[in-house]
Chain A
Amino acid sequence: MINKRVASVTEALQGVRDEMTFMLGGFGLCGIPENSIAELVRLGIRDITCISNNAGVDDFGLGLLLRKRQIRKMISSYVGENDEFERQMLSGELEVELTPQGTLAEKCRAAQAGIPAFFTPAGYGTEVAEGKETREFEGKMYVMEEAFRADFSIVKAWKGDEAGNLIFKGTARNFNPCMCGAAKITVAEVEELVPAGELDPNQIHIPGIFVQRIFRGDHYEKRIEQRTVRKR
């Protein structure tokens, strides 16, 4: 067993610097690496690029990094629900690259899988395809998209073991598995960290080979963005 366990979030994020590119898992506030985001805020690194489906809300998730103006560029598919984001984007302080959600996921997966580029129909004929190579296959048009290149992937899983194997829960899975192994270093924070051998190998979602550092996160707030319920 190759032990990936590190003692703390500080150790897990050793080597992060200004101007680096980060992939961060999560959909809205669901399945975001809360502990790592808090540490990035504490470290105060600046001019970073964040690849993440969304940009959090004003006072949680990536919104915390935005508030401290640590992010220079966001690569996302949807960035609503965040006033500070809007202000920085309109004032030109923040660069934003909007990418179709499936393309965003596949650009992560391609990086993970060693595929430099791929063709997708998403965005053909729209401004997303401007300046990109297009090609026809079987009578349908496709746009070439390139794999992401990132320094750190930071993901959140439900359970993990010392070997770096990960299991996700519910829709908190989202972009997290696609980002594992898609950057130079992958950091996984988990709610429950167990010794190797305790997780059933049949149930592993992401094998530890894709993860370099794993630690147990504390105090997950798991904020709900839209609490929708029905009466009993």
Chain B
Amino acid sequence: MLDKDGIAKRIAKEVKDGYYVNLGIGIPTLVANYVPDGIDVEFQSENGVLGMGPFPYEGDEDADIINAGKQTITTLPGASFFDSAMSFAMIRGQHVHLTILGAMEVADNGDIANWKIPGKMVKGMGGAMDLVASAENIIVAMMHTNKAGESKLLKKCTLPLTGVNCVKKIVTNLAVLEIIDGGFRLLERAPGVSVEEIKQATEGRLVVEGDVPEMKL
């Protein structure tokens, strides 16, 4: 079974040379730490920066340079700043190649819910609806089950949707899965996790074909 860093490490292998990538808050942010050397990527933050670098050294923080999580950041050589309309032109116009984000629920048709729990304080969708509706390639990073042990990979989302038929791939603490016509196709198992355990933890339709390899990290 993987921890959060393990999920990030596995997703980092999906990041290809020359990609512009938008990382959501939480596990997706960790992906930046695991992109292999020799792979050139630029990270986009939807508040208006391409070429995001690591956090600044203590004392170097600049209130005018933050990411979408409102954290102080730095920029790398080749970086650029732009306004919000242009930022979402990059996203909607599919110039950003890959979006990695978290989710509360994913359905086996690619629907995703990650912005609202009825009855709880609603904070808003931020850029998530624009990102999921537009990206050519969306990878969801999340735990396979919620804190109550219930599956987050469902036949149908129960929470209000963020987007429809949009998720392409899911990396959880148990498995790598892709959305195919009407199902989660199991691609890889996390180290030490059996197909049976994944079946138990998946409420939606799970498609298992042949021997499912263990992931290599």
Contact = CB atoms under 8 A, between A and B. Distances in A.
Interface of A: 27-31, 53, 76-80, 86, 89-90, 96, 98, 100-106, 108-109, 120-128, 158, 168-178, 205, 222-232
A201 B73 CA distance: 29
B195 interface: no
A62 to B, nearest CB: 14
Given A100-B125, A230-B56, A173 B48 contact: yes
Given A86-B121, A178-B83, A222 B126 contact: no
B127 A100 contact: yes
A106 B85 CA distance: 6
A77 B72 CA distance: 20
Interface stretch (B143-151, B157-165, B169-177, B182-190): B157-165
Contacts of B165: 125
A226 B71 contact: yes
Interface of B: 45-49, 54-73, 81-85, 87-88, 91-92, 111, 121-130, 133-134, 160-165
Contacts of B60: 229
Contacts of A223: 63
Nearest to A103: B130
Q: Which of B85, B126, B134 has the most CB of A within 10 A?
A: B85
A127 B125 CA distance: 11
Contacts of A121: 92, 133-134
